Chain A
Amino acid sequence: MEEIANLFHGFAVVIEPFNLMLMLVGILLGVIIGVLPGLGGANGVAILLPLTFSMSPTSAIIMLSCIYWGALFGGAITSILFNIPGEPWSVATTFDGHPMAQKGRAGEALTAAFTSSFVGALFAVIMITLVAPLVAAFALRFGPAEKFGVYFLAFCSFIGMSKEPAFKTVAAMMIGFALAAVGLDQMTGQLRLTFGSEYLLTGFDFLIAVIGLFGIGEILLTMEEGLSFKGRTAVISPRVVLETWAELPRYWITSLRSCIIGCWMGVTPAGATPASFMSYGLAKRMSKTGHKFGTGEIEGVVAPETAAHAAGTSALLPMLSLGVPGSPTAAVLLGGLLIWGLQPGPMLFVEQKEFVWGLIASMYLGNVAGLLVVLTCVPLFAAILRIPFSIIAPIILVFCAIGAYTVHNSTFDVMLMLVFGVLGYLMKKCNYPMAPMVLAIVLGDKAEEAFRQSLLTSQGSLSIFWSNGLVGTIMALGLIVLLWPLIQSGWSRVFRPAAA
Chain B
Amino acid sequence: MRKEIEGMTAAGPSHRRVEVGMAVFTAVFALIVIIGSMRVGRDWAEDGPRAGFIPFYVGLFILGASLVNLVQAWRDRADERRFATWDQLGRVSSVVLPTAVYVALVPWIGIYTASALLIGAFMKWHGRYNWSRVLLIAIGVPLVTFVVFERWFLVPLPKGPIEYFLGF
Binding site for B on A (CB under 8 A): 50-51, 53-54, 165, 167-168, 170-171, 174-175, 177-178, 181, 185, 187-188, 190-193, 195, 216, 219-220, 223-226, 388-391, 393-395, 397-398, 401-402, 405-406, 409, 411, 414-415, 417-418, 421-422, 425-427, 429-430, 432, 448, 451-452, 455-456, 460
How far is it, in angstroms, between the C-alpha of A168 and the C-alpha of B123 when the chains are bound?
A: 37
Q: A391-B127, A411-B106 are in contact. Are A406 and B54 (CB under 8 A)?
A: no
Contacts A395-B141, A406-B155 given; indicate if A192 touches B40 (C-beta within 8 A): yes
Interface readout for B31-71 with A: 1 if CB under 8 Å, 0 if not?
00100110110001001111111110011011011101100
CB < 8 Å neighbour of A390 from B33, B99, B127:
B127
Q: Are A192 and B36 in contact (CB under 8 A)?
A: yes
When chains A and B are docked, how far (Å) is the Cα of A219 from the Cα of B141? 19
Residues A220 and B37 in contact in the complex (CB < 8 Å), given A170-B61, A395-B119, A414-B106:
no
**B111 with A401: CB separation less than 8 A:** yes
Residues of A within 8 A of B29 (CB): 175, 178
Name the CB-closest residue of A to B53: A452
Whether A223 pairs with B91 at a CB distance below 8 angstroms is yes
C-alpha gap A425/B99 in the complex (Å): 15
Give complex CA distance A226, B91 in Å.
8
Digit string of B120-164 for contact with A (CB within 8 Å is 1, else 0)? 011100110100000001000110010001000111111000000
In the complex with contacts A170-B61, A390-B127, A401-B106, A54-B99 CB distance below 8 A: no
**CB pairs A–B below 8 angstroms (14 shown):** A54-B154, A174-B62, A185-B51, A190-B40, A190-B50, A192-B39, A192-B52, A391-B123, A393-B126, A398-B119, A402-B145, A426-B18, A429-B18, A452-B53
Contact A192 B55 (CB under 8 A): yes
Residues from chain B with Cβ under 8 Å of A425 in the complex: 92
Distance between Cα atoms of A226 and B111 in the complex (Å): 27
Instruction: Give the Cβ gap from A416 to chain B, nearest Cβ, in Å.
Output: 9
> A391 is contacted by which of B54, B89, B137 (Cβ under 8 Å)?
B137
Given the contacts A192-B37, A390-B127, A429-B18, A418 and B99 also touching, CB distance less than 8 Å = yes
A-side contacts of B49, CB under 8 Å = 452, 455-456, 460
Contact of A223 among B66, B94, B153, B156 (CB under 8 A): B94
B55 touches A171 (CB 8 A): no
Q: What is the 8 Å Cβ interface bit string for chain B, positions 3-47, against chain A (1 contact, 0 not)?
A: 000000000000100110010001001100100110110001001
Tell me whether A418 and B48 are in contact in the complex, defined as CB-CB below 8 angstroms, given that A171-B62, A393-B122 are known contacts.
Answer: no
Cβ contact within 8 Å between B88 and A402: no
Q: Are A430 and B22 in contact, CB atoms less than 8 angstroms apart? A: yes
Question: Is the Cβ of A181 less than 8 Å from the Cβ of B55?
Answer: yes
Contact partners of B103 in chain A: CB under 8 A: 401, 411, 414-415, 417-418
Chain A residues within an 8 Å CB radius of B40: 185, 190-193
Q: CB within 8 A of A394: which of B69, B118, B153?
A: B118
* Contact between chains at B22 and A432 (CB < 8 Å): yes
- The residue of chain A having its C-beta at the shortest distance from the C-beta of B148 within the complex is A51
Our pick among B33, B48, B69, B92 for the contact of A167 (Cβ within 8 Å) is B69
Which of B48, B58, B99, B115 is A177 in contact with, Cβ under 8 Å?
A: B58
CA of A51 to CA of B29, assembled, Å: 34
Q: Are A193 and B88 in contact (CB under 8 A)?
A: no
Tell yes or no: B95 within 8 A of A by CB. Answer: yes
Q: Is the CB of A398 within 8 A of B115?
A: yes
A193 cross-chain contacts in B, Cβ below 8 A: 33, 36-37, 40, 55
**B129, chain A: closest CB distance, angstroms:** 8
| Per-residue interface assignment for chain B, residues 90 to 107, with 1 indicating a CB less than 8 Å from any chain A CB and 0 otherwise | 011011100110111011
Q: Which residue of A lies closest to B153 (CB)?
A: A51
Residues of B within 8 A of A225 (CB): 88
Taking CB atoms, residues of chain B closer than 8 Å to A51 are 153, 155
Distance, CA A170 to CA B109, complexed state (A) = 41
Which of A50, A195, A394, A409 touches B122 (beta carbons < 8 Å)? A394
Of the candidates B33, B36, B118, B157, the one whose C-beta lies within 8 Å of that of A397 is B118
Roughly how many angstroms separate A41 CA and B137 CA in the complex, as a whole number?
A: 25
Instruction: Report the bound CA distance from A452 to B64 in whole Å.
Output: 23
Q: Given A224-B84, A406-B157, verify A390-B22 contact (CB < 8 Å).
A: no
Chain B residues within an 8 Å CB radius of A402:
111, 145, 149, 157
Tell me the minimal C-beta distance from A385 to chain B in angstroms. Answer: 16
Of B39, B55, B61, B145, chain A has the most CB atoms within 10 Å of the CB of: B55
Q: Are A174 and B58 in contact (CB under 8 A)?
A: yes
Docked pose: A220 CA to B53 CA in angstroms: 37
Q: Determine how close the nearest CB of chain A comes to the CB of B123; give it in whole angstroms.
A: 6
